[in-house]
């Protein structure tokens, strides 16, 4: 097993995938792969890593470079037609036979292959770490959003509890009219503090469109007094909204008005109403 590990770490498998081995080395690698499943699996993994690396770093050649390569190929093809079909035999002079040049040391070749494999492994590791960091960041954003929503809910409940515990406040239930039979709104009114607060969390009314708003009215001395406008939406439904101030009122009502509110209530758009 140590010999197999050393064989894998030698870099010969990377050179085999790159096609930079001698015929004898190629045959040796294929024999080892057929005998040892771990070597065969390592070959497949190297091929897959190199394919991914090549795909991620592929660069589209320019049109100018493409033309140069094609012209070069056509020129070389034309020149090849002038080459002799047979290689001349070497001329032997003075009974001296030229010895083949000594084969270059393969150390650098194996070192390059090992470095290349290390580079691919490093890129794969960095990619994996980057994905994990992105996932962690997404989880942190989601957690932060959840914490903000929880904090907002707690603040709403705390304020709601303080208002409903304050004996100076009266809670008036505004019930639906013919325009909105199931409508409901809760208004907390403190004559002593001259405060009127509407509970948007318990507001049972449809979401208003961008051209309209709801307007709260107080009936004071038989005349309607505007206490301001508010929206019903799905993003801000956990709050107690403080409206205009009055120190006396016989009733409260909500109408649907053009955005920004109206000077007088549109009675045909009366949604909910409640008396003290």
Question: H/E/C letters for each residue in 198-253?
Answer: EEEEEEECCCCCCCEEEEEEEEECCEEEEEEEECCCCCCCCCEEECCCCCCCCEEE
Same domain, 24 and 149: yes
Residues 192 and 204 in one domain: yes
Same domain (yes/no): 124, 13 = yes
- Is residue 272 pLDDT above 90, yes or no? yes
Is the residue at 71 inside a domain? Answer: no
Same domain, 176 and 251: yes
33, 149: one domain: yes
Domain count of the fold of the chain: 2
Cα–Cα distance for residue pair 50/97, rounded to 1 Å: 44
Residues 161 and 236 reside in one and the same domain: no
Judge whether 38 lies within some domain.
yes
The model's pLDDT over 180-200, given as tens digits with 9 standing for 90+, comes to: 999 999 999 999 999 999 998
- Rounded Cα–Cα distance for residues 243 and 176 (Å): 20
When the pLDDT of each residue in the chain is averaged and rounded to a whole number, the result is 80
Domain-ending residue, one of 131, 165, 199: 165
Regarding whether 252 and 228 lie in a shared domain, the answer is: yes
The pLDDT value given to residue 247: 93
pLDDT digits (tens, 9 = 90+) for 31-78: 988 988 888 898 888 888 877 777 766 666 666 666 676 666 556 555
**In this structure, are 125 and 190 located in the same domain?**
no
Same structural domain, 182 and 210: yes
pLDDT in tens, 93-136: 555 555 555 555 566 666 777 787 778 878 878 777 888 777 77
Residue 276 or residue 86, greater confidence: 276
Q: Does 209 score more than 90 pLDDT?
A: yes
Q: Which two tokens stand for residue 38?
A: 């771990």
Residue 90: inside a domain: no
* Domain extent for 23: 1-58+105-165
Domain boundary among 150, 165, 180: 165
CA distance linking residue 131 with residue 267, whole number of Å? 59
Residue 67 lies in a domain: no
The reply to whether 84 falls in a domain is no
Q: What are the tens digits of pLDDT across the range 210-256?
A: 999 999 999 999 999 999 999 998 655 557 899 999 999 999 999 99
The reported pTM is 0.45
- For residue 167, give the H/E element and its range: none
């Amino acid at each position: 097993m140590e010999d197999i590990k050393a064989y894998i770490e030698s870099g010969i498998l990377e050179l085999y995938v790159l096609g930079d081995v001698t015929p004898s080395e190629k045959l040796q690698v294929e024999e080892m792969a057929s005998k040892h499943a771990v070597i065969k699996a390592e070959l497949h993994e190297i091929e897959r890593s190199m394919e991914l690396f090549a795909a991620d770093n592929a660069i589209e050649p320019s049109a100018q470079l493409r033309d140069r390569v094609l012209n070069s190929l056509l020129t070389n093809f034309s020149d090849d037609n002038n080459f002799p079909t047979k290689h001349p035999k070497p001329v032997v002079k003075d009974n001296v036979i030229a010895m083949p040049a000594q084969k270059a040391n393969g150390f650098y070749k194996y070192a390059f292959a090992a470095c290349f494999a290390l580079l691919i492994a490093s890129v794969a590791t960095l990619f994996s770490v980057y994905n994990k960091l992105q996932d962690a960041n997404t989880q942190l954003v989601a957690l932060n959003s959840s914490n903000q929503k929880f904090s907002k809910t707690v603040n709403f409940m705390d304020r709601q509890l303080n208002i409903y515990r304050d004996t100076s406040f009266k809670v008036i239930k505004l019930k639906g009219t013919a325009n909105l039979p199931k409508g409901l709104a809760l208004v907390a009114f403190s004559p002593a503090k001259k405060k009127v607060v509407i509970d948007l969390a318990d507001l049972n009314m449809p979401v208003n469109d961008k051209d309209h708003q709801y307007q709260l009215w107080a009936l004071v001395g038989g005349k309607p007094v505007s206490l301001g406008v508010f929206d019903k939406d799905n993003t801000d439904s956990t709050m107690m909204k403080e409206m205009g101030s009055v120190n006396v009122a016989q009733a409260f009502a909500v109408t649907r008005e053009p955005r920004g509110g109206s000077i007088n209530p549109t009675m045909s758009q009366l949604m909910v109403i409640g008396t003290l």
